[in-house]
Amino acid sequence: MEASVPELSWVPAAGGGGRGGGGRMLRATAGSVEQRDEEQEDEAEEELRDGGVPFYVNRGGLPVDEETWERMWRHVARIHPNGEALGKETRGATDLPKIPIPSVPTFQPTTTIPQRLEAIQKYIRELQYNHTGTQFFEIKKSRPLTALMDIAKEMTREALPIKCLEAVILGIYLTNNMPGVERFPLSFQSHFSGNHFHHIVLGVHCGGRFGALGTSRREDLMFKPLEFRTLMDLVQEFEGAYRGYWHTLRKVRIGQYVSHDAHSVEQIEWKHSILDLDKLTKDELRKELERHTRDMRLKIGKPAPPSPTKDRRNSMGSPLRGQGSPVRRISRIERRPSGDKKVLEPKSAAEINGYQIRV
C-alpha cells in the first residue's frame, strides 16, 4: 500500500500479446474511474486498475526483454521519490547482495493443514511484494486452470516478487495436493478519496473453518489463519482491516471452489457472487454469504471436465511463449441480487484527503 496522488493510469491493450506489448493511456479522474469500473467489470482486468496508479504488466515472458526492462526503470524513476538517482545507483552497482531464493515448502504426512497453510503463506511472503510497478507474470483470468498452473510453476522457478493476483494462482498451485482444502477467489473493491481500489486473496475452507492466503502491501490484508467459522466472519475481518486504512469496502466478489486437478481445462469461476455492500444490510449480507457457501458445497463431488491427454497438453505449449492455451467459455452463472440501497454515514477524513492509500 502506498500514498500518492494519481494523474494517469496505463492499462495494457487487450490485444498487446507478445514481446513489448503496447498500451493505452486513460485519464484517472474520480468520475472516469467509477465509469470504467462498471464498463470493465466483466473483462477480468480490475487487477490492472488500482486507484488510477500507473501499473504495467510484462507481456513478453521471461527473461524480461530489453523494452520492458527499460520501461520498468523509467516507471520507477517517475513514481519513486528518488527514482532517477535510485535507478542509476542500483543499475551501476557491482556489489549488490545476493538475494536468497526461497524453497518451495514440502510436508511430512503428519504435518497438519493449518501448518501447511502457514508454510505456504511464509513462502509467498518470502518472495516479497512487487513494488516495481511492473507485474512480471501475465495472468489472464480466462485461461484454463492447466495454463495458469504452468505460470505458477514458472513463479517457483524464477522466485521473483509478485502481486496479489499472482499470489492467488501460486496459492492454488501449492494447495492442489491437499484434497481436504477447498480454495476459492475472494476479491474486494474499496473506495478512498474519490478512487476505487481492487485486491484479491485466495479463500480457503477446511474442517468447517475459513481462512485466506495471499499478499498485500498491508499485513492484515492477506493471510488469515484457518479459524473463521463462517464466510461472513472472514469478510468482516477484511472489512475491519480496510476501515483501519480509511477505505470503505464497497463490493465483494466470490468465486466457486477451484478444481484440484492441475491439468483441468476448466476455467476458474472468479465471480459467482457479486455483493454490493452499499445495498445490503448486515443480515442480508449474511444470508447472501450463507447462500454462496451452500452453492460452493454443491459443487463438491460434481465431475470435472476431462483433463487433456498428454499429447494435447504438450501441444498447448507454454502460456508465456506460445500461442496461448485454448479457452473454453463457461456459461455465466446468474449473479446474486443485492438488496435495496441503504444510506451510509459520511466519514470525516479531512486530514488525509488528497492522498491515495493503496491496498
pLDDT digits (tens, 9 = 90+) for 34-74: 444 443 443 333 344 455 566 799 999 999 999 999 999 99
H or E segment at 34? helix 30-39
Tell me if residue 283 falls in helix, strand or coil. helix
Residue range 166-191, pLDDT digits in tens: 999 999 999 999 999 999 999 999 99
Question: Could you give the CA distance from residue 272 to residue 238 in angstroms, rounded to a whole number?
Answer: 19
166: DSSP letter: H
Catalytic residues: 164, 199, 216
Amino acid at 162: I
pTM: 0.74
pLDDT at position 84 is 85
Residue 343 pLDDT level (bands cut at 50, 70, 90): very low
**Least confident segment among 31-40, 162-171, 275-284:** 31-40
